[in-house]
Amino acid sequence: MQHQEVELLAIGAGPANLALAVALEELAPEVAANSVIIERHQDVAWQRGMLLPWSQSQVSFLKDLVTLRNPRSAFSFVNYLYSVDRLDQFINLGSFTPYRLEISDYLRWVAESLRRVRIQYGKECTSIVPRKNTAGAVVGWLVTMADGSTIAARDLVIGAGRDANVPEQFRDLPRERVIHSVEFGMRVEQLDEAASGRFAVVGGAQSAAEMLWSVHQRFPQAQCTMVMRSIGLNGYESSKFTNELFYPSFVDEFHAAEPEARAQLLREMHRSNYAGLAPATLDTLYRQMYLERLTDAQRLKMITMVDVAGARLEDDTVVLSLVDRKNGQRSELCCDTVLLGTGFVPEMPRMVQNLAQALDLPAATVDRNYRLHLPSGAEAGCYLMGVNEATHGIADSLLSVLAARSGEIVNDLLERRGSDRRLSTLSLAS
């Protein structure tokens, strides 16, 4: 079995850890040279399950991995466009929001452009064990992979994303009948067009709407029904005043706020990210429904203000039990495949919860620099990215803060190493 010893290990080769890798190479080349990112897939991709050819990001290309920290960086999105000979065309497109495929390709380009930080593919983390000295203080981490190999590191960064939310009502259905958005792109290709005549899409935000439109176009004979608890589809809250709360500089203000104020901010900003749709998506769906009514060929439908109370398989048909939120009346919807646009579990990912349990921590909490609060005396560090919305604001899981956050984490790493060197010098002198 293979074993490695590194200074820093990052789990997940997504935007968060790629931004960190760039910051390491630019700010801490010595640390970067002994740093490894592990990725369970065989390549780098962004929002792998929803890489639909027509889908666009909702975030400006200037909020890439590096520009807001170092606008002169060679790892910028603009330099990527220049390197692939597409800068003129992108400028002529006149859009601040690239296609999702384009951002994914940019991330792959960054991964391939790294010179010091290594990325190891096909490495799925199965366990993280704290390493302790004779006094019981945490001095490092031992990470075990699915293939049995291990990596020991002094510092750990977890940027593997949140766990997909599969509501309890759907967990007893056969797996082939339920597709969450995180795996939509891969699994929809496996569906038999002849046997996929009825789709039920659960959810009322962007991912649900994109899946609805995708199967509507891919399966021209299919009936496509969207089921949601809300009164109807809404656009993103995207005023320029609201968008100021996505500035990296707002993280300090949010982190310092009282718990009640944090809760209000998250509640009022919910539709800016989780419960809305892009204007173009809204317009496309409404126009299609209008056209189908006009031609009396309606196969795109929406059922609003209902809860899915249960789901069962009956005579090779998935039956959803619906409860009308207005009057409590019950009804049933029959389909062949359920598509879940139900987002992600709001709690810490299972990987982080297991780590907190191994450390005897009551909960996984981080400081302003995203460093996990460890038992006293710890020499190692563990940083959590993309899961700190409750303490760092709604932008924590988005592209908006990647560049600034990666710089803050690297600076914290360097400050800790400086402190350790000073302590070592004082010990020698005494």
Q: What is the pLDDT of residues 348-385, one digit of tens each?
A: 999 999 999 999 999 999 999 999 999 999 999 999 99
C-alpha span between 152 and 139 (Å, rounded): 11
- Do 303 and 309 contact (CB within 8 A), yes or no? no
Same structural domain, 15 and 103: yes
> Rounded to an integer, what distance in angstroms lies between the CA atom of residue 69 and that of residue 64?
10
Q: Give the per-residue pLDDT at 425.
A: 38
Q: Are residues 354 and 284 in the same domain?
A: no
The terminus-to-terminus CA distance of the chain in angstroms comes to 43
73: nearest Cα among 385, 383, 397, 407: 407
- Residues 320, 352, single domain; the answer is no
CB-CB neighbours of 97 under 10 Å = 16
pLDDT at residue 422 tops 80: no
Q: Please answer whether residues 9 and 151 qualify as being in contact, where contact means their C-beta atoms are separated by less than 8 angstroms.
A: yes
Does one domain contain both 369 and 298?
Answer: no
CATH code (residue 295): 3.50.50.60
Which candidate, 183, 164, 158, places its Cα nearest to that of 13? 158
Residue 62 lies in a domain: yes
58 part of a folded domain: yes
Question: Does residue 192 share a domain with residue 323?
Answer: yes
What is the token pair recorded at 106?
């940019």
Split at pLDDT 50, 70, 90, the class of 1 is: low
- Residue 331: inside a domain: yes
Same-domain check for residues 19 and 83: yes
Q: What are phi and psi of 329, to 5 degrees?
A: -70, 145
400: in domain: yes
The answer to whether position 307 is within a domain reads yes
Q: Is residue 313, in this structure, part of any structural domain at all?
A: yes
Residue with tokens 């389909």: 335
* In a domain? residue 192: yes
Q: In the structure, what pLDDT confidence band is assigned to residue 420 with cuts at 50, 70 and 90? A: low
- The total of structural domains in the chain comes to 2
- Regarding whether 355 and 321 lie in a shared domain, the answer is no
The pLDDT score that the predictor gives to residue 193 is: 76
Model pLDDT for residues 58-86, shown as the tens digit of each residue: 899 999 999 999 999 999 999 999 999 99
Are both 364 and 281 inside the same structural domain?
A: no
- Give the end of a domain, one of 282, 308, 340: 340
Whether the CB-CB separation of 23 and 69 falls below 8 Å is answered with yes
On whether both 154 and 60 belong to a single domain, the answer is: yes
Alpha-carbon dihedral angle through residues 373, 376, 379, 384, given to the nearest 10 degrees: -10
Domain identity same for 185 and 331: yes
Tens digits of residue pLDDT in 14-44: 999 999 999 999 999 999 999 999 999 999 9
Are 307 and 192 in a shared domain? yes
What is the rounded distance in angstroms from the CA atom of residue 154 to the CA atom of residue 239? 43
Mean pLDDT, the chain, as a whole number? 93
- Per the model's pLDDT, the better-predicted residue between 417 and 291 turns out to be 291
Place of tokens 């299919």: 222
Last residue of some domain: 298, 318, 340?
A: 340
259 in a domain, yes or no? no
Q: What is the three-state SS of the chain? A: CCEEEEEEEEECCCHHHHHHHHHHHHHCHHHHCCEEEEECCCCCCCCHHHCCCCCECCCCCCCCCCCCCCCCCCCCHHHHHHHCCCHHHHHHHCCCCCEHHHHHHHHHHHHHHCCCCEEEECCCEEEEEEEECCCCCEEEEEEEECCCCEEEEEEEEECCCCCECCCHHHCCCCHHHEEEHHHHHHHHCCCCHHHCCEEEEECCCHHHHHHHHHHHHHCCCCEEEEECCCCCCCECCCCHHHHHHHCCCHHHHHHHCCHHHHHHHHHHCHHHCCCCECHHHHHHHHHHHHHHHHCCCCCEEEECCEEEEEEEEECCEEEEEEEECCCCCEEEEEECEEEECCCECCCCCHHHHHHHHHCCCCCCCECCCCEECCCCCCCCEEEECCCCHHHHCHHHHCHHHHHHHHHHHHHHHHHHHHHHHHHHHHHHHC
pLDDT tens digits, one per residue of 195-253: 668 999 999 999 999 999 999 999 999 999 999 999 999 998 888 998 898 999 999 99
The pLDDT value recorded for residue 263 is 94
Q: Tell me if the pTM is above 0.85.
A: yes
- Both 118 and 151 in one domain: the answer is yes
Looking at 340, 369, 385, which one is the last position of a domain? Answer: 340
What angle (nearest 5°) sits at the alpha carbon of residue 374, between those of residues 371 and 377?
115
pLDDT of residue 430: 34
Largest separation between any pair of C-alpha atoms in the chain: 88
**What pLDDT was estimated at residue 62?**
96
Q: Which range of residues forms the domain containing residue 149?
A: 3-163+345-429
